[in-house]
Amino acid sequence: MKHIHIIGIGTGNPEHVTIQAINAMNAADVVFLPVKGTGKEELAEIRREICERYITRPGSRVCEFAVPQRQTADRTYTQSVDVWHGEVARIYRELISGLPENGGGAFLVWGDPSLYDSTIRIIERVRQETGLDFDYSVIPGITSIQALAASHKIPVNLVGKPIEITTGRKLARDGLLTDSTIVMLDGEQAFAKIDDPDAEIFWGAYLGTKDEIVRSGRLGDIATEIQALRAEARQRQGWIMDIYLLRKGRDFEE
């Protein structure tokens, strides 16, 4: 039976790649490498560097494939994601079908496959909708949350208090609900709309890469600076991946 390895590779630093991930990459006949088009070439370059550094198996090869753009016109967010997943699933089906019988393939996932990534969902969709005979395993990777906390030298939680992981869209709609809130996928820069200027923000972009930027402080003092930094970095790089922690309160406060 064919086998697929879904491998978390961390947030851009090749040294984030675990020994388990390296072993899985070398167990595959083919490593599938996504290419996301103009402006995001650096993402593919980092994956290529990881492959060059760690794949030592003779005969193993890298197969690059283009990732379709998600179309949002006249669709809700969930509708656009569902259609996009279907398009990617068709590509995955072709890639997996091309593996040798009893062969192995690997998909390299930014960060960790369990955290705001859809590779597992899409692989399951391929199995359910196409009837392809294969199984798969998941190898965890360092998440952007871990990288953010490490760069800021902080624990994510306050003692005895919960953590929420949410999106910018949800934060803009619902506001700040917990003492420690991790915010991902925030194209809206929802932090600037939070009516709690005394909250702290710990922000990071391009975590783990040579272009890493981090800022922290009282939200009311640095929100504007972060917006400017983010806009400048996105224009310079052509893309941005950022994440932040919003925190209110202190350890041991009831």
- The Cβ-side half-sphere exposure at 159, using a 13 Å CA radius, reads 5
Rounded Cα–Cα distance for residues 77 and 140 (Å)? 27
Same-domain check for residues 7 and 105: yes
Answer yes or no: are the C-beta atoms of 92 and 119 closer than 8 Å. Answer: no
Query: Do 117 and 153 reside in the same domain of the chain?
Result: no
Backbone angles phi, psi at 250, to 5 degrees: -140, 160
Helices (H), 113-210: 119-130, 144-152, 168-174
Residues 238 and 191 placed together within one structural domain of the fold: yes
Question: Any idea how long the chain is?
Answer: 254
Establish if 77 belongs to a structural domain: yes
pLDDT of res. 169: 92
Residues 184, 134 share a domain = no
In a domain, 6, yes or no: yes
As to burial, measured by CB atoms within 10 angstroms (0-12 exposed, 13-18 middle, 19+ buried), residue 38 is exposed
| 99 in any annotated domain | yes
Same domain, 39 and 164: no
Q: Which residues of 61-100 are buried (b: 16+ CB within 10 A; e: fewer)?
A: ebeeeebeeeeeeeeeeeeeeeebbeebbbbbbebbeebe
In a shared domain, residues 109 and 209: no
Shared domain for 95 and 180, answered yes or no, is no
Same domain, yes or no: 148 and 134: no
* Domain membership flag for residue 25: yes
> CA 124, 78, 44 angle in degrees (round to 5)?
65
Query: What is the per-residue pLDDT for 157?
Result: 95
How confident is the prediction along the chain (254 residues), in pLDDT tens digits per residue?
Answer: 999 999 999 998 999 999 999 999 999 999 999 998 776 788 889 999 999 999 999 999 999 999 998 888 888 989 999 999 999 999 999 999 999 999 999 999 999 999 999 999 999 999 999 889 999 999 999 999 999 999 999 999 999 999 999 999 999 999 999 999 999 999 889 999 998 988 999 999 999 999 999 999 999 999 999 999 999 999 998 889 999 999 998 888 87
**99 and 181 together in one domain:** no
Whether 150 and 193 map to the same domain: the answer is: yes
- Residue 252 lies inside a defined structural domain of this protein: no
Last residue in a domain, options 88, 104, 139: 139
List all residues 6 or more positions away from 77 whose beta carbon is below 8 Å from its beta carbon.
169
Give the containing element (helix H, strand E) for 181: strand 180-184
Domain's final residue, options 139, 162, 193: 139
CATH assignment at residue 32:
3.40.1010.10
- Structure confidence at residue 42 (pLDDT): 83
Is residue 215, in this structure, part of any structural domain at all?
Answer: yes
Q: Where are the alpha helices (DSSP H) in 61-217?
A: 77-97, 119-130, 144-152, 168-174
As for how many domains the chain has, the answer is 2
The reported pLDDT for the residue numbered 72 is: 84
Neighbours of 218 (CB within 10 A): 12
pLDDT score recorded for residue 118:
94
Domain that holds residue 104: 2-139
Pair (158, 96) in one structural domain: no
Nearest CA to 209 among 140, 151, 145, 141?
Answer: 151
Predicted local confidence at residue 40, as pLDDT = 76
Domain's final residue, options 94, 112, 139: 139
Q: What CATH number is associated with residue 172?
A: 3.30.950.10
Q: 236 and 118, same structural domain?
A: no
